[in-house]
Structure 1
Amino acid sequence: MGCYLTNRDPEKNFEALWKTFHRRYPFFQLRNVDWCKQYKIYRPRISSAMSDEALFEVLCEMLDPLDDGHVEITARLGQRKVKKHFTAEKEPRFYRELTERQIKRLFEVARSTLTANGFGPYSKTKAWMIRYCRSREFGYMRILELEGVSKKRVSMALDEISRDFPSLKGFIIDIRDNPGGEDSIALMIGNRFADRVRVAFHRRSKIGPGAEDFTPLRTWQLTQQGNVQFTCPIILLTCDAVFSGAECFALALRELPHVTILGEHTNGIFSYQLEKKLPNGWDYSLSYQEYLSADMVCYEGRGVPADIGLLNTKADLDTGVDPLIIRALKILSQQDSRVSV
Structure 2
Amino acid sequence: MIVHIIKKEIHFRIIKKLCVCFQLLLIVSCQTDDDNPTLPVEDSINGFWFSEELGYILEFTEGNDVVYNINTAGCSIVDDDFELEDFVPSLVSANDLILTTDLNESDFEFTRLSNQNPTCLPDQIADTDDPKVNFDHFWNIFNDYYAFFETRNVDWSQYESLRDQVTTDNFYDILEELVLLLEDGHVSIFDEENGIQIDSGFPKLLETFNMNLSGDFIIENGDDLGDLFGQKATTIVTEYLGGDFEIDERDNILWGLINDTVGYVNVLTMAGYGSDFSNELSTLNDLLDTIMNDISASGVSKLIIDIRFNGGGHDTAALDIVSRFMDQERFLYTKKFRLGNTFTEKRAVSVGPKGDFQFTGDIVLLTSPASISAADLFALCMKDLPYVTIVGENTAGAFSNVLSHTLPNGAEIGLSNEVYEDPQGVIFEAVGIGPDNQENRVPFLSTLDFEEGIDSGINRALELFSN
TM-score, with length taken from structure 2: 0.64
Q: Does 2:261 match 1:132?
A: no
- Give the helix-richer structure, 1 or 2: 1
Q: How many angstroms apart in 1 are the aligned matches of 2:283 and 2:187?
A: 31
Aligned 8 A contact 1:127 1:157 in 2: no
1:6–1:228 distance in 2 versus 1, CA, 3 Å = closer
Q: How many angstroms apart in 2 are the aligned matches of 1:297 and 1:106?
A: 33
Q: How many angstroms apart in 2 are the aligned matches of 1:21 and 1:4?
A: 19
Aligned 8 A contact 1:94 1:241 in 2: no
Q: How much does 1:61 deviate? A: 2.0
Q: How many angstroms apart in 2 are the aligned matches of 1:107 and 1:94?
A: 19
Q: How much does 1:242 deviate? A: 0.9
Report how many aligned residue pairs link the two structures: 318
Residue type matched to 2:191 in 1? Answer: A
Equivalent position to 1:121, from 244, 248, 263: 244
Q: Does 2:308 match 1:176?
A: yes
Q: Does 2:155 match 1:34?
A: yes
Q: How much does 1:161 deviate? A: 2.1
Please give the residue correspondences for 1:242-253 in structure 2 after superposition, counting only pairs within 5 Å.
242-253=371-382
**Identity within the alignment, %:** 31
Aligned 8 A contact 2:237 2:245 in 1: no
Q: How many angstroms apart in 1 are the aligned matches of 2:139 and 2:196?
A: 20
Q: Which residue of 1 aligns with 2:358?
A: 229
The C-alpha deviation readout for 1:284-316, integer Å capped at 9, x for no partner, is: 111111111121111111111223201130221
Aligned 8 A contact 2:308 2:371 in 1: yes
The C-alpha deviation readout for 1:216-258, integer Å capped at 9, x for no partner, is: 1111112111112111110000111111000000000002110
Q: How many angstroms apart in 2 are the aligned matches of 1:122 and 1:303?
A: 30
User: After the TM superposition, which of the residue ranges 286-295 and 126-135 deviates more from structure 2?
Assistant: 126-135
Q: Does 2:402 match 1:273?
A: yes
What are the ranges of 5 or more consecutive residues in structure 2 without an aligned counterpart?
1-122, 214-218, 274-279
Residue type matched to 1:111 in 2? Answer: V
Residue type matched to 1:91 in 2? Answer: K
Q: Which residue of 1 aligns with 2:431?
A: 302
Q: Which residue of 1 aligns with 2:132?
A: 11
Q: Does 2:266 match 1:142?
A: yes
Aligned 8 A contact 2:244 2:256 in 1: yes
CA RMSD of aligned residues (A): 2.2
Q: Does 2:314 match 1:198?
A: no
Residue type matched to 1:144 in 2? Answer: L
1:325–1:10 distance in 2 versus 1, CA, 3 Å = same
Q: How many angstroms apart in 2 are the aligned matches of 1:177 and 1:106?
A: 10
1:230–1:14 distance in 2 versus 1, CA, 3 Å = same
Q: How many angstroms apart in 2 are the aligned matches of 1:278 and 1:154?
A: 35
Equivalent position to 1:314, from 443, 447, 463: 447
What are the ranges of 5 or more consecutive residues in structure 1 without an aligned counterpart?
335-341
Q: Which residue of 1 aligns with 2:164?
A: 44
Residue type matched to 2:321 in 1? Answer: I
TM-score, with length taken from structure 1: 0.87
1:249–1:107 distance in 2 versus 1, CA, 3 Å = same
SS where residue 123 of structure 1 aligns? strand
The C-alpha deviation readout for 1:107-130, integer Å capped at 9, x for no partner, is: 1112223136xxx71124476411
Q: How much does 1:188 deviate? A: 0.5
Q: Which residue of 2 aligns with 1:338?
A: none
Q: Does 2:143 match 1:22?
A: yes
Q: How much does 1:29 deviate? A: 0.6
Residue type matched to 1:140 in 2? Answer: Y
Q: Does 2:176 match 1:56?
A: no
Residue type matched to 1:154 in 2? Answer: L
Q: How many angstroms apart in 2 are the aligned matches of 1:6 and 1:262?
A: 50
Q: How many angstroms apart in 1 are the aligned matches of 2:454 and 2:154?
A: 42
